Structure 1
Amino acid sequence: MGVVRTGEIKALTGLRIVAAMWVVLFHFRPLIWEASPRLKDDLAPLFNAGAQGVDLFFVLSGFVLTWNYLERMGPSFALRPTLHFLWLRLSRVWPIYLVTMHIAALWIIFTLHVGTTPSPDVEKLTAISYVRQLFMVQLWFAPFFDGTSWDGPAWSISAEWLAYLLFGLMILVIFRMATVTRARTLLMLAFVASLPPTVLLLASGHFYTPWSWLPRIGAQFLAGALACAAVRRLRLSDRSRRIAGYCAILIIAVIVAILYFYEAHPVNGMIDPGGVVDVLFMPLVVMLAIGVGSLPALLSTRLMVYGGQISFSLYMVHELVHTSWNWAVAEYHLDISKAAQKFVVVGLIAAALGAAMLLFRTVEEPARRWMRRMVDFRDVKTIRAELPADPAAGKLASIDGARENRPPHSARAG
C-alpha cells in the first residue's frame, strides 16, 4: 500500500498541539511547582524539557512543507512559484505574529503608566527593534534568542522565516536526492542531519550557546525535509503501517525514559540534558506519518486535530498570559493560598487556550484566507464563473465555501 501523497496528515496536525502544550507547561513551570510541589517531584524531568517542543515544531515544519511542495517546487527553480510559496507562508504566520507582537508592545507600555512595576522589556521598544520584528528578522542579529522578541516565543518564527527563505533552494537539492536515493538512505541522512544540536550539547554540556539557534532550525528543518522525501518513496503494507504505529508509542516511551534517566543520573557539567531527545523527533514524525493504530488514531481525532489547528495561536499567545499574571502578582503583592494557586494555574492555561481559540477564529483563519486570495484571485474568478446561481437568494453561492470544498492540495501546516 502506498502512502497518500496529498492532503492533510492528521496525526501530524494532532502532534502540533502536543508540542505546543509541552512549551506552555515549560513556561508555566514556576507557577505549577508553587501550586503543587508534588507535581515537581513527579513531572519535573518532563516539563523541564518542554523547550524541546520548539525543535519538534522545526522537524514538523520541514516535513510538512516538503510533503506539500516537493513535486511542485523541486523539479526546477522558478521565481514566481517561490514567491507564491513565501506569500502563503506569510499568510500562515504573519497575522498572528503581528497581532501578538503589538499586544506585547501595548502591554509593555501599559506597565509604564500603571503601577510601579514596569516591564523589564521597556528598553526593547526602539524603532530599529520594531522594524526588525515587523519583518521577522530580529533573531538574525543576536547570538542568543533570549530578549530578542517582545513576545518571547516569536524568536522561533524569526528562525523559521530564515528557513522559509532558503526552502526554494533546499527543495531543489532534496528533490534530486529523492530521485536517486533509496528511502532507507534518505532516512539515515535525515537522522545524521538532526544530530548537530545534540552533538554540540554533548561536546559542550550546554544546549544554549552563542548562535546555537542556527543549527537547531537548520538541522531539524532539514531532517524533517529529508524524512519526508524518504516517506514519499515508501510502499508499505498494512502490517508495516501497524508496526509503525506501535513504534511511535515506543519512541515516546524512550523519550520519557531518557528524560527521567538524566534526572536520576545527571552528567557532570551537562546543562539542559533534555536536548538529547531531539534526535528522536524525526523518527517520531516519520512513524506517525506512516503509522496506523492507537496513537496515530488518537492524534487524528477531531479534538486533537482542532488543537493542532489552534496550536500556533496558543504558542504565540500563552506567554503574554503568563507574563501579565506575573506582573499582577508583583504589582499588587498577591498572596494566594496553595489551594487557590491550583485554580489559578488551571485558569491561566484555560485563558491561554481560550485566547488561542479566539485568535484562530477571528484573526488567523480570516487573515490567512484574505492573504491567499491576493495571489489566488484568478482561481477565485474561475470559481465564481463555475458556481451555479442560487435561485432562492438570487446571487452566487459563497466562494469561500466552494474553495473549501475543493480537494485538498496541502497538509494543514502548509
Structure 2
Amino acid sequence: MTQTAFLNPSHAVVSTHAGTIAGERFQVLDSWRGICALLVAVFHFPTASAISQSGFTGSSYLFVDFFFVLSGFVIAGSYANRLSQPAQVARFALVRFGRIYPLHLLMLAAFAGFELLRLLLPALHGTGAALFTEGFDLKSLLANLLLLQGVGFEDRLTWNAPSWSISTEFFAYLLFAGVVFVAGARAWIWFVAAAVTAPLFLLGFSTHHMDVSYDFGFIRCLYGFSLGALLAWFQHDSIAGARQILARSGPRANWTLAEIVMIAVIVVFVSLAGDNDFGIAAPLVFALALFLFAHEGGWISAVLRAPFMLTLGALSYSICMVHLFVQARMINLAGLVERELGFDLVGDIVLRDQPATGFGTGWAGTTAIAMLVATIAVSGITWRLVEIPAMTWFRRLSKHM
C-alpha cells in the first residue's frame, strides 16, 4: 500500500473476515484459512494410519504460520491508517480482544469443566494423567486466562494447546498498534527489522526448528505477522489494480498454472521442511502464496470461492479453537465404547516417534472423517453463538470509547 493511503483515514476499512483492504474482500484467502485450520486439526488427530504418519501431515503444524502472515496482511491493510490517536489504539485493542478472547474463554472453561467431570465419573479416571497436572494445572490456567501461554511464561503446551497462537497474535496486535502509533509512515522499518531478525533468532536458539510455541511462539508469530504487514504496506496498489483487471476477464490459464505450481510448492515444502531448519522459511513461502492467491486470478481461486469453502473460512477460528477438545472427547468416548462392547478402537500408538493414545489403522479413516465432521459442526455452533455476538458487542462497545 502506498504511504499516502496508509495515512489517509478516509480509506479505512474494518475487517471481519480473513481479509479486506480498501473495501475489498479477499474471499480466496478466507477459504485458504479454513483449509489450513483443517490441516492443523488433522495434524493433531492421533492415529496409526499412513496419513497421520506421512511427512506432509506430520509437518502440517507449519500451516499455523499461514495464519500469522495472513493476520499481518489483514491488520496492516485494515488498521495501519487508523492508529494515529490514543483513542483509536484503544478501540483497536478492544476490538481485537473481543475477536479472540470470548471463544478462548469458552474453550478454556470446557477443558476445565472436563477435568472437574473426571472427579465425578469413575469411568473417566483412567483417561489421562492425574487431575490438574501435566499442563492442566491451576498455575497454567491463570496464564491462559491472561493470554500468556504463548509468550514464554509456560514450559509446555497447556490446556487448549492450540491457543498458544492466539496468545502470540494478541500481543502482536498490541505491538503493531504501538509501532504504528509512534512511528507512523516509518513503521515499515520496524516490520522489516522483525522479519529479518526473527528467523535469525530461531536459527540460533530454537532446538525444534520452526516447531516452537509456548517458548519462542511470539518470535515465530512476529516473523510471519511482519511479513504479512509488509506485503500489505507495499503491494496493495498492485494487487488492487490486478484484481480489477482479472475480475473483468475471468480466470486465466497463466494464473491457474501459477496457482497449481504454488500448491505443489507448498505440499513439497511442508513435506520436506517440517523437521529441519528449512521450515523456518515457511512464512516466506506462505507470503508468496498469499500474494498470488490475493489476486484470485485462476481457476483454483474460482473453486475456492465456492460457498462451502467460504464457510470453512468463516469457521476457521472456531476450528482452530475447538478441534482439540472434540478430538479428546472422541478418544474418551471410543474408550468407553471399547470397554462396554469390546471393540478394539483406541490404544497406545507411536505418532511421529512419540508415544500417544489414539486410533489404530483399522478405524483411522472412519474416525478422521468423523472428527472433521464433528469439528466443523461444533465450529458452526460456536461461530454463530459465540464469535458473531462477541464481535458485535465489542464493536458496539468500542464506538463509545
Could you state the TM-score of these two structures normalised by the residue count of structure 1?
0.74
- Deviation, 1:326, is 2.6
- Deviation, 1:251, is 2.2
2:32 is aligned with 1:25: no
Q: C-alpha separation between the residues in 2 aligned to 1:150 and 1:295?
A: 37
- Deviation, 1:308, is 0.7
Cα 1:261–1:158 change in 2 (3 A) is closer
| 1:153 match: secondary structure | helix
Residue number in structure 2 paired with 1:220: 224
Structure 1: which 5+ residue stretches go unaligned? 264-269, 379-414
Q: C-alpha separation between the residues in 1 aligned to 2:295 and 2:191?
A: 13
Cα 1:154–1:190 change in 2 (3 A) is closer
Structure 2: which 5+ residue stretches go unaligned? 3-19, 346-359
Q: Is the 8 A contact 2:27 2:305 kept in 1?
A: yes
Q: C-alpha separation between the residues in 2 aligned to 1:314 and 1:194?
A: 28
Q: C-alpha separation between the residues in 1 aligned to 2:194 and 2:216?
A: 19
Cα 1:272–1:347 change in 2 (3 A) is farther
2:371 is aligned with 1:348: yes
Matches within 5 A, 1:86-97: 86-97=93-104
Q: Is the 8 A contact 1:231 1:290 kept in 2?
A: no
Cα 1:225–1:52 change in 2 (3 A) is same
Q: C-alpha separation between the residues in 1 aligned to 2:34 and 2:218?
A: 24
Q: C-alpha separation between the residues in 2 aligned to 1:260 and 1:127?
A: 37
Matches within 5 A, 1:163-242: 163-172=172-181, 176-177=185-186, 192=196, 195-196=199-200, 199-200=203-204, 206-208=209-211, 211-234=215-238, 236-237=241-242, 238=245
Residue of 45, 52, 56 corresponding to 2:55: 45
- Deviation, 1:138, is 2.7
Cα 1:159–1:374 change in 2 (3 A) is same
- 1:104 maps to amino acid: F
Q: Is the 8 A contact 2:151 2:216 kept in 1?
A: no
After superposition, what is the alpha-carbon deviation per residue over 1:378-404, rounded to whole angstroms, capped at 9, x for unaligned? 9xxxxxxxxxxxxxxxxxxxxxxxxxx
Q: Is the 8 A contact 1:91 1:371 kept in 2?
A: yes
Matches within 5 A, 1:256-405: 256-261=267-272, 271=276, 274-330=279-335, 333=339, 335-336=344-345, 340-376=363-399
- Deviation, 1:341, is 4.4
Q: C-alpha separation between the residues in 1 aligned to 2:307 and 2:197?
A: 33
| 2:22 match: secondary structure | coil
Q: C-alpha separation between the residues in 2 aligned to 1:253 and 1:341?
A: 26
Segment drifting more, 214-223 vs 133-142: 133-142
- Deviation, 1:340, is 4.6
Residue of 82, 88, 95 corresponding to 1:72: 82
Moved over 6 A (4+): 186-191
Q: Is the 8 A contact 1:228 1:286 kept in 2?
A: no
Q: Which structure has the greater CA radius of gyration?
A: 1
Q: Is the 8 A contact 2:194 2:222 kept in 1?
A: no
Q: C-alpha separation between the residues in 2 aligned to 1:251 and 1:196?
A: 25
| 1:72 match: secondary structure | coil
- 1:164 maps to amino acid: Y
- Deviation, 1:285, is 1.0
Cα 1:12–1:174 change in 2 (3 A) is farther
Q: C-alpha separation between the residues in 1 aligned to 2:137 and 2:203?
A: 37
- 1:59 maps to amino acid: V
Cα 1:174–1:357 change in 2 (3 A) is farther
Cα 1:164–1:108 change in 2 (3 A) is same
2:16 is aligned with 1:13: no
Cα 1:61–1:40 change in 2 (3 A) is closer
Cα 1:342–1:260 change in 2 (3 A) is closer
- Deviation, 1:290, is 2.6
Segment drifting more, 254-263 vs 354-363: 254-263
- 2:96 maps to amino acid: R
- 2:282 maps to amino acid: V
- Deviation, 1:375, is 2.2
Matches within 5 A, 1:81-160: 81-114=88-121, 115=123, 116-120=125-129, 122-123=132-133, 124=135, 126-142=137-153, 144=155, 146-147=156-157, 149-160=158-169
- Deviation, 1:348, is 1.9
- Deviation, 1:167, is 1.6
Could you state the TM-score of these two structures normalised by the residue count of structure 2?
0.76
- Deviation, 1:90, is 1.6
Cα 1:100–1:80 change in 2 (3 A) is same
| 1:85 match: secondary structure | helix
Segment drifting more, 55-64 vs 252-261: 252-261
* Identical-pair percentage: 25
2:258 is aligned with 1:247: yes
After superposition, what is the alpha-carbon deviation per residue over 1:162-196, rounded to whole angstroms, capped at 9, x for unaligned? 111112123357852489x9xxxx99989757744
Q: C-alpha separation between the residues in 2 aligned to 1:107 and 1:166?
A: 35
After superposition, what is the alpha-carbon deviation per residue over 1:71-125, rounded to whole angstroms, capped at 9, x for unaligned? 222xx3x211011011111221111111111001111222233223153362255
Segment drifting more, 240-249 vs 109-118: 240-249
| Structure 1 vs Structure 2 CA RMSD | 3.5
Cα 1:259–1:130 change in 2 (3 A) is closer
Cα 1:322–1:205 change in 2 (3 A) is closer
